[in-house]
Amino acid sequence: MRRRFAGRVEGREGPGLWQGFFELGKLFRRPTLVPAGYEPPEKDTAAQALAATRREGSRWGLFAIPVAGILALSTGAVLLPLPGNLWPYLNNSAKALGADLLAASLLFLVPAIGAVLLGSLGGSVYSQLAGARIFQLLVACAVPYAVAVFGPALALGKLDLRAVAAADSLPMLGVKALCGMLFLLCLPVILRLKPLSASSGEALEGVTNDLGGPPLALFYLAQWMERLALSVFFAVVFVPFAYNNVIFFIAGTLVGLAITGIVDALFSHIRLRDAFNFYLRYTNPAALAWLVLLALAVKV
C-alpha cells in the first residue's frame, strides 16, 4: 500500500498489493552474493585461507543480522500491552523497574543497528558510506528518542510500560502528545526513510548495495516489520486508550504508518549535513529542555 501511494503521488499506478510477496519469493530462490573484498595473490596460501574464512563469516553475518532484527522486533512486540496480549498482565517484579519499557525501546533499534553492521560487511565503499551515514544520524537523534520514550514514564513516576500506556489523565495526555511528536521526529532516522536514506542520494542502494538473494529478502522483511512495529509502539505508548481499545489502537497504528508513508513519498532527499544540523541544533536542545521541564514538574 505504501508503494502504491508513492506511485500515485508520482503519477503512475504503482505495484500490486501482493507484489512485495512475489519479490520476496524471487529473492529467496536466488543465490546468496557474498562481498569478495580484497583478494590476495594465489601464492600467499595463508592470506588465501584467511580471506576464505572472512568470506564465510561475512556469509553468516549477512543472514544473522536481518534474522536478529526480525527476532528483536517480534520480541519487542510481545512486550507491548496490546489489546489481547496477555504477557504485560502477568505479575513480574522486573516490570516495576522498567525492564519491559527499556527492553522494547532497545529491541526496536536492533534493525537500525543491523543496517550499520551490514554496511560495514559490504565490500564496496557505497555500502560503508551508507552505514556510516545511518550511524551518525542515529547518534544525533539518540537523546530525542530517549526523552520521547521515557518522558511519559518520568511524568508518571513509574517505569512500568503497562502503567504508562494506561495513564490517560489530562496532564498525561499533554505529556504524551509532546513526546509523541518528538518520537515522530525520530522515526525518519530510525526507519531510514527516503529523505534521510543514503540510497536516495550519493550511495546508490545504501547498505543493500552488496546484498542479494535470501539475505536481501530477510532485510526487506525486517524493514517492513520495523515500520509496523514502531507504529504499534507509537500507538500503545502515545495514543490514549489504545492499550485496551482496539479501535484507538488501530487508528494510532494507521496514523504512524500514514505519517511515515507520507514522509517517505513526498519529501525529497536531505543532505547529511542538513539533517545532522537539524537534530543537533534544534531537536536535541528542545528534547533536553522538555526533559528539564518534566523533571521540574515532577518535583513540584
What is the separation of C-alpha 288 from the centre of its chain, rounded to a whole number of angstroms? 22
Per-residue pLDDT tens for 99-157?
Answer: 788 889 999 999 999 999 888 876 677 788 888 888 999 999 999 999 999 999 999 88
Is residue 66 a part of any domain in this protein?
yes
Q: 250 pLDDT exceeds 50?
A: yes
Per-residue pLDDT tens for 43-83?
Answer: 556 555 555 556 665 777 788 899 999 999 999 998 888 87
Its domain, for residue 235, covers: 20-299
Residues 6+ apart with CB under 8 A from 269: 194, 195, 197, 200, 201
Look at the chain and report how many structural domains it folds into: 1
Per-residue pLDDT tens for 194-232?
Answer: 777 655 444 456 777 777 888 889 999 999 999 999 999
Q: Are 220 and 23 in contact (CB under 8 A)?
A: yes
Q: Quote the CA–CA distance of 37 and 53 in Å, as a whole number.
A: 12
Q: Which residue has the cell 523497574?
A: 97
pLDDT winner (highest mean) among 32-36, 87-91, 120-124, 266-270: 266-270
Band (pLDDT 50/70/90 cuts) for residue 159 is confident
Is residue 150 a part of any domain in this protein?
yes
Q: Is the dihedral of CA 161, 166, 169, 173 positive or negative?
A: positive
Q: Quote the CA–CA distance of 147 and 88 in Å, as a whole number.
A: 23
Backbone angles phi, psi at 124, to 5 degrees: -100, 155
**pLDDT at residue 108, rounded to an integer:** 95
Q: Quote the CA–CA distance of 64 and 76 in Å, as a whole number.
A: 18
Is residue 11 a part of any domain in this protein?
no
What is the separation of C-alpha 180 from the centre of its chain, rounded to a whole number of angstroms? 16
Region class of 204: left (phi > 0), else alpha (psi between -120 and 50), else beta: left
Q: What is the mean pLDDT of residues 172-198?
A: 88
Is residue 6 a part of any domain in this protein?
no
Q: Could you give the angle at the alpha carbon of 232 between the alpha carbons of 213 and 195, nearest 5°?
A: 60
